[in-house]
Amino acid sequence: MIRSRLLCKDNDICYRVPVGNNAAKLSGTSAVCTLLCVAVSLFAIVGADDPYRFFNWNVTYGDIYPLGVRQRGILINGQFPGPDIHSVTNDNLIINVFNSLDEPFLLSWNGIQNRRNSFEDGVYGTTCPIPPGRNFTYILQVKDQIGSFYYFPSLGFHKAAGGFGGIRILSRPQIPVPFPDPDGDYTILVGDWYKSNHTALRAHLDRGKKLPFPDGILINGRGPNGYALTVEQADQPGLDYYIVVSSRFTTPILTTTGVLHYSNSAGRVSGPPPGGPTIQIDWSLNQARSIRTNLTASGPRPNPQGSYHYGMINTTRTIRLASSAGQVNGKQRYAVNSVSFVAPDTPLKLADYFKIQGVFRENSISDKPYGGGIYLDTSVLTVDYRAFVEIVFENNENIVQSWHLNGYSFFVVGMDGGQWTTNSRNQYNLRDAVARCTTQVYPKSWTAIYVPLDNVGMWNIRSEFWARQYLGQQLYLRVYTTSTSLRDEFPIPKNALLCGKASGRSTRPL
Ligand SMILES: *[C@@H]1O[C@H](CO)[C@@H](O)[C@H](O)[C@H]1NC(C)=O
Ligand SMILES: *[C@@H]1O[C@H](CO)[C@@H](O)[C@H](O)[C@H]1NC(C)=O
Ligand SMILES: *[C@@H]1O[C@H](CO)[C@@H](O)[C@H](O)[C@H]1NC(C)=O
Ligand SMILES: *[C@@H]1O[C@H](CO)[C@@H](O)[C@H](O)[C@H]1NC(C)=O
Ligand SMILES: *[C@@H]1O[C@H](CO)[C@@H](O)[C@H](O)[C@H]1NC(C)=O
């Protein structure tokens, strides 16, 4: 058996790649990329001796040719995509990042919860950019997590040029998982791609234009049939098989292929790849709802408020977030509850930590759709530490949306077409929903999640559709407590870079 992994860096809808026993049916199942972004909470007692893993990364520009034309990419230690991080639950990751670009740079860790430690989250609301020619060492712990995640550059549309890679967190050997040990383990990063470099794309957005349609889809940084993975023969004839990835709910539909190569293969892939699954929304909703936690299988489980039963906890607050697109001052913007996010000059987390006034206003975004036109602001929504909230993502637009929350994994309790109402709660799955950190919202539909807010910090909620994120479809959830106990939040890292209005402050003695 070979474990399949699928990581998508954008909003793209893509296929799950079943490998192993049903290798011949590769065109089969479709799912939203973020499904494997599953994080589970083990709540084991962690000793101070959790292992350390050290990484030294040099971020540079370099020529890449993913769609056959030369373009300037962002490499990590000369690689595109960047190196995989292999780790085990509770490992400490010490990642020293040298920024050899000519622009400020930051890495963020999609799906890594950075518990009590949003300082290391690597988005502009939490962490100062690494200036050109400087380095910064991230100190992360992959606490209580298992799964497949990825890192990516969060600033300046760098993500369109590279700088991303996979993160694996394996279960600790003493925690049983409900399947035999895999024979192999592959990272597959899938995303859409432009032949233009990131500075050209960024300039286009800065001028207030929508991005054109992408030029293609990459699998592990390669174009059509450019990526192949080799496996021992399973139970199918010794041949090569297509790995097919295509977009859903887009016009046109983009498709690309990779190759699953049997080591004893007698021939190359040939002929047209099989077509993609339906683009019917009802079918997709049903499929999404059918993906559930197997409650009778052994294995680690999320444990909100110590109950193991998220459906039996009363929610204490409802937050409704509606996306929209429109123009502000003649320029394209995207918004949440009418607010189009603009980054402040100082990371919000540092403003909070040093109690610097004038960086953001609390509750500068409403917790339900406002109904008015789009305006610019630094949107921050304060929520109580330990609240158990229901968040409803409302999509009145005609495209699929993809929402991500940093710092947490949440339960996707419901989704359906049309407008959400309180009656929609009657159809929630309060038993065996899956916990994850990104969810899709189908066109003209809603998706509801439950989140136990047990991780203090400043946490980004954003569209994973990167142009939308760049032009304002994001906000910060300020999970706040007046407690200054280390049990609730770590102090600022000693090596934290300080910028904006936090310049000249001191972190803490070394
Ligand atoms: C990073 O790579 C560049 C280009 O190869 C090189 O000039 C620079 O010395 C490297 N920096 C580090 C810290 O390795
Ligand atoms: C930069 O890298 C050096 C090692 O080359 C390390 O000693 C130093 O702590 C790093 N700086 C930061 C801010 O992480
Ligand atoms: C980026 O693309 C623009 C537009 O094609 C081009 O003018 C520029 O030279 C490119 N920059 C680099 C560094 O390749
Ligand atoms: C759930 O897990 C149990 C135990 O591993 C297994 O027997 C059962 O087939 C699984 N159910 C489904 C629907 O996969
Ligand atoms: C949830 O709320 C209901 C109705 O207010 C109440 O009866 C019940 O005890 C609450 N459950 C918990 C676990 O607090």
pLDDT at 12: 27
- Cβ–ligand 2 distance for 58 under 6 Å, the answer no
pLDDT of residue 88: 96
Low-confidence ranges of the chain (pLDDT < 70): 1-48, 509-510
Atom of ligand 2 nearest to the CA of 137: 14
Q: Which two tokens stand for residue 229?
A: 């993975």
Task: Indicate whether residue 499 lines ligand 3 (CB < 6 A).
Answer: no
**Is the CB–ligand 4 distance for residue 297 below 6 Å?**
yes
| 203 pocket-lining for ligand 4 (C-beta < 6 Å) | no
Establish whether residue 137 lines the binding site of ligand 3, counting it when its CB lies within 6 angstroms of any ligand atom. no
φ, ψ dihedrals at 204, nearest 5°: -60, -50
CA of 489 relative to ligand 2 center, distance in Å: 24
- From the CA of 296, which ligand is nearest? 4
Asked if 2 and 187 count as a contact pair (C-beta separation under 8 A), the reply is no
Measured distance CA(140)–CA(92) in Å, rounded? 6
Report the residue among 55, 98, 101, 102 best suited for mutation to probe ligand 1: largest number of ligand atoms under 8 A from its CB: 98
pLDDT at 274: 86
77 Cβ below 6 A of ligand 1: no
Number of DSSP helices (H) and strands (E) in the chain, helices first: 4, 31
Going by alpha carbons, the residue nearest to atom 4 of ligand 3 is: 200
C-beta separation of 418 from 445 below 8 A: yes
| Nearest residue by C-alpha to atom 1 in ligand 2 | 135
Which protein residue's CA is at the shortest distance from atom 1 of ligand 1? 58
Which pLDDT score, from 0 to 100, does residue 393 have?
A: 98
Single-letter amino acid code for the residue at 129? P
pLDDT of residue 48: 56
Distant-in-sequence, close-in-space partners of 244: CB < 8 Å, separation ≥ 6: 15, 26, 27, 255, 256, 257, 273, 274, 276
Reported as a single tens digit per residue, the pLDDT across 60-93 is 999 999 999 999 999 999 999 999 999 999 999 9
Domains in the chain (CATH in brackets) are: 4-181 (2.60.40.420), 207-277 (no CATH), 301-502 (2.60.40.420)
Residue 432 DSSP SS3: coil
User: Among all chains, which residue has been given the structure tokens 């509770």?
Assistant: 90
- pLDDT for residue 276: 76
| CB of 195 shorter than 6 A to ligand 3 | no
Structure confidence at residue 174 (pLDDT): 84
Residue 287: what residue type? Q
Length of the chain: 510
Q: What is the pLDDT of residue 305?
A: 80
**Which SS3 state, helix, strand or coil, does residue 115 take?**
coil
For the entire predicted model, the pTM comes to 0.91
What confidence score (pLDDT) does residue 18 get? 29
Q: What is the pLDDT of residue 65?
A: 98
